[in-house]
Amino acid sequence: MPQKTTVTELPIELHKFVADVSRLVYPARSEYINRLLAGEKDSLIIKEIQRKYGINKRQANAIRIEAKATIKSATECRKEHIKKVKNQIKSTKSWLNKQQKKLENAPLACDLKTRRSCRSNKRFAIHQKKRRLYLLENQLNHLKDTRLKVKIGVMKTQYLTVGSSWETYGNQIAQYDGKNIVFRVPYALEDKYGKYLSAPLKFHYKQEWIEDAIKNNRALTYRIYAKNLRWFIACSTEVPEPEKISYSRHYGCIGIDINPKVIGYARTDRDGNLREKGQIKFNLHSKRKNQQLAILHDVCNEIVELCVKNKCPLVVEKLDFTVKKAQMREQGTFYSRMLSNFSYGKITELLTQKAQMVGIEIIFLSPAYSSLIGLVRYLKLYGMSSDTAAALILARRAMKLSERVPLYNAYPIMTMGKHVWSAWHALNKKLNKQLCLSRHSYFSFSNRELEVMLNDEFLKILRKGSSSKPKRTSRVR
């Protein structure tokens, strides 16, 4: 069952109590993390923490769970950081190799503004890039050799109470019955507050999640934290998945192609034919974080509503931009800004959450050659844009429908006994690297013209007639 969280503001009569508990738990959590990283035995640390800070076993167990989760998160972040630095080093070395070759053929001309020659400017750029490479290599060695450090924050304004399914009201330390919440006071604060402390509490959003969890004896975990001089309480519990309303993928799917400023979608029927297409445009440039989040929520709501209306599964391309984002420093300004504003991870996260809440199946697929297949096969046939054509390919791929190279394109590039993607790879190589066709040109060429252009004899004539490599106008993944 998926885990959901609902948040509300804590009653004012509990503010002083939770502030004291947070100040009590903070050094205990820090000590547990430091001693665990030093290699001490877990059970021994817990016993000593209970006696030293005056807390019971359940409160110490909450500290253990929170601390181990923090250590695990820090370990994963260290791995991702090392991976990122390695990609940056690889990109920097590749840039240096290219610029060293360009330096040999650089002209002796001088810039009128800077009064420096092209070779001098390029030498200076190479020198600075070598300095950056040296710093990155030292950073990588430091990350590999140094001991893991875990930061839990300097503000003593949060603590956790972990629940269990066999406990009353799903939690022994904080028990909520739907109207009032009762806290078990730590031993160290009993002289000040007594053994128990209660106050009325109401969750204004998704109160039914908590009531259902209490009724069915499911665990309730509470996190108390301060934000903007106000105290909040967040309740997390497992929520049963809603009834699935989407039909099987074999009755039709809705595929989406995510781009930095537009999301193209296409809906297919049970035979894989196009039934509906469209675009959802949005702009995240120069927007604040909350504005961007609100825009993405609206976009994802529109997509999920379309799936609910047609009762179709949602097909999303599975992408990874970690390598490309690590190489942004060596790319142009326009490309770097576009990639930086591309919130693919947040869009897929929101789509997964919203689709799961309404009972829509979401399918993640590899987008290999989806844009190319859409351009070649369906762009001119249906009068589609490149993103909606790629979305159609994803929807058909989820339905297990094959996409073979058209006959008028297959003859020059087809190889017997290989996977169909090898043919699309060969076609992609000819269209992109040798012919350098732009996307809108697929509307103007006839099938016979494209067949002639893909012929090896035509490509030989093209290479002989052109002294320089033709300019590349678009890239198809």
Amino acid residing at 319:
L
pLDDT of the residue at 474: 45
Lowest mean pLDDT among 70-84, 155-169, 245-259: 155-169
Q: 474: which 2 tokens? A: 């678009």
Q: Which residue(s) pair with 281 in the sheet? A: 262
Q: What mean pLDDT is predicted for residues 11-26?
A: 92
pLDDT of the residue at 168: 85
CA torsion through residues 418, 421, 425, 427, sign:
positive
Q: What mean pLDDT is predicted for residues 327-352?
A: 81
Condensed to tens digits (0 to 9), the pLDDT of residues 38-78 reads 889 999 999 999 999 999 888 999 999 989 998 999 999 99
**Domains of the chain: which residue ranges?**
3-72+152-238, 85-144, 255-403, 405-477
pLDDT of the residue at 472: 45
Structure confidence at residue 204 as a pLDDT band (50, 70, 90): confident
Cβ–Cβ < 8 Å for 35, 47 = no
Cβ–Cβ < 8 Å for 165, 221 = no
pLDDT of the residue at 477: 46
Phi, psi angles (nearest 5°) of residue 65: -65, -45
Lowest mean pLDDT among 72-81, 287-296, 446-455: 446-455
> Considering only CA atoms, which of 253, 65, 230, 238 is closest in space to residue 160?
65
Checking if the pLDDT of 473 tops 50, the result is no
Q: What mean pLDDT is predicted for residues 251-273?
A: 92
| Angle at CA of residue 281, ends 333 and 391, nearest 5° | 95
Checking if the pLDDT of 436 tops 70, the result is no
pLDDT of the residue at 15: 92
Secondary structure (3-state) at 182: strand
Condensed to tens digits (0 to 9), the pLDDT of residues 89-130 reads 999 999 999 998 888 887 777 777 777 788 888 888 999 999
Q: Which residue has the tokens 């609902």?
A: 6
Q: In sequence order, what are the residues at sequence separation of 6 or more whose Cβ sits closer than 8 angstroms to the Cβ of residue 427? A: 372, 376, 405, 409, 413, 454
Task: Share the mean pLDDT of the chain.
Answer: 85
39 or 435, higher pLDDT: 39
> Considering only CA atoms, which of 285, 283, 368, 282 is closest in space to residue 319?
368
Number of Cβ within a 10 Å radius of residue 321: 12
Lowest mean pLDDT among 32-36, 275-279, 335-339, 418-422: 418-422
> Considering only CA atoms, which of 402, 403, 404, 401 is closest in space to residue 250?
401
In the chain, what percentage of residues exceed pLDDT 90? 44
pLDDT of the residue at 297: 94
Q: Give this prediction's pTM.
A: 0.78
Helix (H) / strand (E) element for 226: namely: strand 221-227
pLDDT of the residue at 475: 43
Sheet of 262-268, strand order: 274-281, 262-268, 254-258, 314-317, 362-365
pLDDT of the residue at 102: 87
In words, the CATH class of domain 255-403 is alpha beta
Q: What mean pLDDT is predicted for residues 357-363?
A: 91
Q: Which residue has the tokens 């167990």?
A: 61
Amino acid residing at 343:
S
Q: Which residue has the tokens 């949060």?
A: 158
pLDDT of the residue at 103: 87
Q: Measure the CA–CA gap between 219 and 236, rounded to whole angstroms.
A: 8
Q: What mean pLDDT is predicted for residues 317-321?
A: 85
Checking if the pLDDT of 300 tops 90, the result is yes
